[in-house]
Each structure stands twice: as structure tokens, then as C-alpha cells.
Structure 1
């Protein structure tokens, strides 16, 4: 009887600590060059998923209305750990990255402001999230 009570208490305590460890990551995105459409923000905690655009394996997502200048949003339910974030300014809000050959016609960005000149690796874009260090990222646009 006493062992059952101890195990139940331990399970309850571990559930509380796991819940307490979850946080919402506030994201700030600078350099949005035009109003309209939406900015898709995708968080990954897995190198293979990030580097291979395995969107089904992202761990958090938010869609933010795009406004010129700086926008903010919240990635919900993340615990402390290593993450890489991918941004896409979907100017026409069709859910696709418009490309002209290998050049994006819509904005993009990554955590650590990696990837201005090419697609970054997970190591280049990843950072340690402690639950209260919220990233600021810059949107990139190809010259027109």
C-alpha cells in the first residue's frame, strides 16, 4: 500500500515537472519587407528532419500575419533543448515557397541568422533554448 502511494506521488511529481518545463518561445522577426501574406515559423529538434525538410517532424509551428518591419509570434509548448528554426514569408499565402529556378521569390530565414547565402546545416542554425532566451531572426529576400 505504501509503495503504491510512493509510486503514485512520484508519477504525479514527474508529470508536474514535465509540464512546468514546457514553455512558449517568443519569436521576433526583423526585416520583413512587405505587408501581406503570412510568415510560417517551424521549429525542429532533429538534424535529419531539419536538413531534409521533413515538415511532419517539426516540433512546433506558428503562422504569423506578415507586416512590414518587425513581427512577433509564439511557438507553443517547447521544453528546454536544442532547436533550429526555419522561416518562410509566404507573400501570397498559398502554402508554397515560390522559386525562380534555385532562387526563392519569397522571404526566408533561419535561427542564428544562418542561411543568408544558402541553406544552412542544423549545426549552423541550432541554438540552446533555456525556456526564456527568445530568438530574434532576420528575414532574407533575393535581390530583384
Structure 2
């Protein structure tokens, strides 16, 4: 019985310390070109999921109303580690990236300043989240 109480107390302490490791990452997005629509912010901690656009495997997501200039939001429930963040300014809010051939007609962006002229790798877009820092990114728009 004593062992059961010690084990239970140990399990509760482990769960509490594990849940305390999760935090919310503030994100700031600069250079939002036009008002209207929404900015979709997707965080990945897996190279294959990020590079394969496997949206079902993102680890956090926030939708931020788009206004010209700078917008901010919060990616919830992240533990410290390496993440690649993808942005999409869905101006018409249809849930799709509008394209003209290979040229995006809506805004895009990635963490670490990556992807201004081509789709970045996970490593190029990776940022370290300490549990306390903020991700600051910028939108890109085709001319």
C-alpha cells in the first residue's frame, strides 16, 4: 500500500512537471500587405510533415484576422524544441493558397526569414523555442 501511494505521488509529479513544460509561443507577423482575410500560422516539429505540407501533422495552429501592417497571435501548447512555422495570408478566406502557375497570388512566409524566393527546407525555416521567446516573421507577396 505504501508503494502504491509513492508510485501514485510520483506519477502525479511527473504529469505535472511534463505539463508545465508546455507553453504558448507569441508570434508577430510584419509586412501584412492588405487588410481583409486571415493569416494562418502553422507550426511543425517534424521535417517530413513540414516539407510535405502534411497539415494534419502540425503541432499548433492559430488563425489571426489580417490587418495591414503588423498582426500578432499565439501558438498554444508547445514544448521547448525546434519548430518550422509556415504562414499563409488567405485574403479571400477560402482555405486555399491562390496560385497563378508557380506564383502565389496570396501572401506567404516562414520562420527564420526563410522562403522569400523559394520553398524552404525544415532546417532553413527552423527556430528554437525555449518556452519563453517570441517568433517574429514577415509576410511575402509576389510583385
Secondary structure of the equivalent of 1:132?
coil
- Aligned mates of 1:18, 1:34 — CA distance in 2: 41
- Aligned mates of 2:2, 2:110 — CA distance in 1: 52
Deviation of 1:18 after TM superposition, in Å, equals 1.2
1:22 corresponds in structure 2 to: 22
1:84 corresponds in structure 2 to: 84
1:137 corresponds in structure 2 to: 137
- Aligned mates of 1:75, 1:54 — CA distance in 2: 18
2:112 corresponds in structure 1 to: 112
Deviation of 1:63 after TM superposition, in Å, equals 0.4
1:94 corresponds in structure 2 to: 94
Deviation of 1:6 after TM superposition, in Å, equals 1.2
1:11 equivalenced with 2:11 (yes/no): yes
Secondary structure of the equivalent of 1:97?
coil
Q: Tell me, which stretches of 5 or more residues in structure 2 are unaligned?
A: none
Quick check: 15-24 or 58-67, which moved more?
A: 15-24
- Aligned mates of 1:17, 1:29 — CA distance in 2: 31
Secondary structure of the equivalent of 1:18?
helix
Deviation of 1:5 after TM superposition, in Å, equals 1.1
1:70 equivalenced with 2:70 (yes/no): yes
Residues 25-52 of structure 1, C-alpha deviations (whole Å, 9 max, x = no match): 1000000010000000000000000000
- Aligned mates of 1:124, 1:39 — CA distance in 2: 21
- Aligned mates of 2:127, 2:14 — CA distance in 1: 26
- Aligned mates of 2:128, 2:6 — CA distance in 1: 34
2:53 corresponds in structure 1 to: 53
Once superposed, which parts of structure 1, at least 4 consecutive aligned residues long, lie more than 6 Å away? none
Q: TM-score, normalised by structure 2?
A: 0.99
